[in-house]
Amino acid sequence: MKTIIEPFRIKVVEPLKLTTRAEREAALHKAGMNLFLIPAEDVLIDLLTDSGTGAMSSEQWAGVMRGDESYAGARSYFRFAAKLEEITGFEHVIPTHQGRASERILFELVGGPNKVIPNNNHFDTTRANIEHSGAEALDLVIEEGRDPRSRHPFKGNLDLDKLEALFRDVGADRIPLVMVTVTNNSGGGQPVSLENLHGVRKICDAHDTPMYLDACRFAENAYFIKLREEGQSRRATRAIVREMFDLVDGATISAKKDGIVNIGGVLLLRDEALCREARNVLILTEGFPTYGGLAGRDLEAMAQGFEEVLDEDYLNYRIRSTAYLGEKLLSAGIQIVEPPGGHAIYLDAANFLPHIPTEQFPGQALACALYLHAGIRGCEIGSVMFGEAASMELVRLAIPRRVYTQSQIDYVIEALVEVHQKRSSIKGMQIVEQPPTLRHFTARFAEISC
């Protein structure tokens, strides 16, 4: 059969509050036109992020009850570490409270002034942690990855020529590691091919430089490889995942994505000495190495989530249902980053609102218009988030895992088609207040009236 159904049924429900346009207008005004500052209760369909917003399974909740809350050496830690080792092959598994904690520990140890850290595209927290250490964060995604219309199957790939050129220009001593983000969140949730990962590895080997993954969405990336890369279709996703991790010296993971938990992170390291140092920093800022800022119950939920995410029926539903949203928008004439990503659809706000110039933040204007019209919350990924480093003006509609049904997604499609019809009435924005870093979380905006 052609219909892809949700491969689960609903056991617990959470009521949604319907709001009027006047209520949404008031909420938006109070929040300074920043959707991060709106109470979640006033949001009907929350597509702000797929991070920590997934629905846990009955087995994960059972794990929560089984959680061993011992301070040191908890049973839950050993179960968690064994599951991560089984999936990734890494012997040193460090739990952290979320992805950015793994990043902070790693870059505190390997970053610092004068260092340069390349990636396909750094996510905002990764870039911020690198810059906080004094190092420079560089984005080296392939050119197709910057073109919303390109249908390249692996638009997350890192440009190998640019990487070679970087080694030539700055020298290996200034590059403590090369990172690859799978899937490439800032570049449209696009996957990276195995071939490209092998290519990066080869360059790293030639310069004796470690290679790391930002592996938040490793399962979705591996499933795209199975679907799209020549010679991979008969392999189990699990085997592809293992090959991805076998290639690298370490990984930072936010378990709030493909771990399908509400909180949790992982730092994977091969180097013994670095691992010892990381555990010392962990004790200082997160917690003892067998809990790393989490409760035992969280470690149980993660162990189970990392197993469930590799179920190919789940992955098929996940990738196909995201594509459903994307393809429907495309056929309604709404430009998205093509092809549809794994965890999100990215609206091309510059194309949607051609009358709003970059410096008037078309992504922010579109995200606010969608909320105002239908109570749907998306997230600007463009000049507000990245300033001048932004290569596209996007609004991300991230799909929480196992949360929304197809009829709710149909509502999102209808709302966007209606907003698109009256797009010429949407106005540009200006920033009226902003913090020094990660401004998108707390900045306040105002509409430009003329």
Residues within the interface to ligand F0G (CB under 6 A): 49, 51, 98-100, 123, 125-126, 181, 185, 214, 216, 254, 256, 265
Q: Parallel, antiparallel, or unpaired: how do β-strands 444-447 and 116-119 relate?
A: unpaired
| 3-state secondary structure at position 208 | coil
Minimal CB distance to ligand F0G: which residue?
A: 99
The smaller minimum CB distance to ligand F0G, of residues 258 and 338, is found at 258
Look at the block and give the residue holding tokens 């056991």: 11
Minimal distance in Å, beta carbon 396 to ligand F0G?
A: 8
In the complex, minimum distance from the CB of residue 424 to ligand F0G, in angstroms, rounded to a whole number: 30
Rank residues 250 and 265 by Cβ distance to ligand F0G and give the closer one: 265
Q: Which is nearer to ligand F0G, 99 or 428 (CB)?
A: 99
Burial readout 17-50 (b: 16 or more C-beta within 10 A, e: otherwise): eebeeeebeebbeebbbbbeebeeebbbbbbbbb
**Gap between the Cα atoms of 106 and 234, Å rounded:** 36
Nearer to ligand F0G, 295 or 426 (CB): 295
The nearest distance, CB 183 to ligand F0G, in angstroms, is 8
Contacts of 206 (CB under 8 A, 6+ apart): none
Whether 189 contacts 397, CB under 8 Å = no
Instruction: Enter the tokens of residue 36.
Output: 């991060």
Three-state DSSP state, 77? helix
Count other Cβ atoms within 10 Å, centred on residue 281: 17
Would you give the DSSP letter of residue 141?
B
- The span from the CA of 64 to the CA of 62, in Å, is 5
The CB-of-21 to ligand F0G minimum distance in angstroms stands at 27
- Report the residue number, 344 or 419, with the smaller CB distance to ligand F0G: 344
Q: How far is the CB of 397 from ligand F0G (least distance, A)?
A: 12
- Least spacing, CB of residue 295 vs ligand F0G, in Å: 16
Structure tokens at 412: 């999102």
In angstroms, how far is CA 230 from the centroid of its own chain? 26
Entry field: residues in the chain: 450
* Closer Cβ to ligand F0G, 254 or 364, answer by number: 254
Smallest gap, in angstroms, from Cβ of residue 225 to ligand F0G?
A: 17
Considering the complex, state which of residue 60 and residue 125 has its C-beta at the smaller distance from ligand F0G: 125
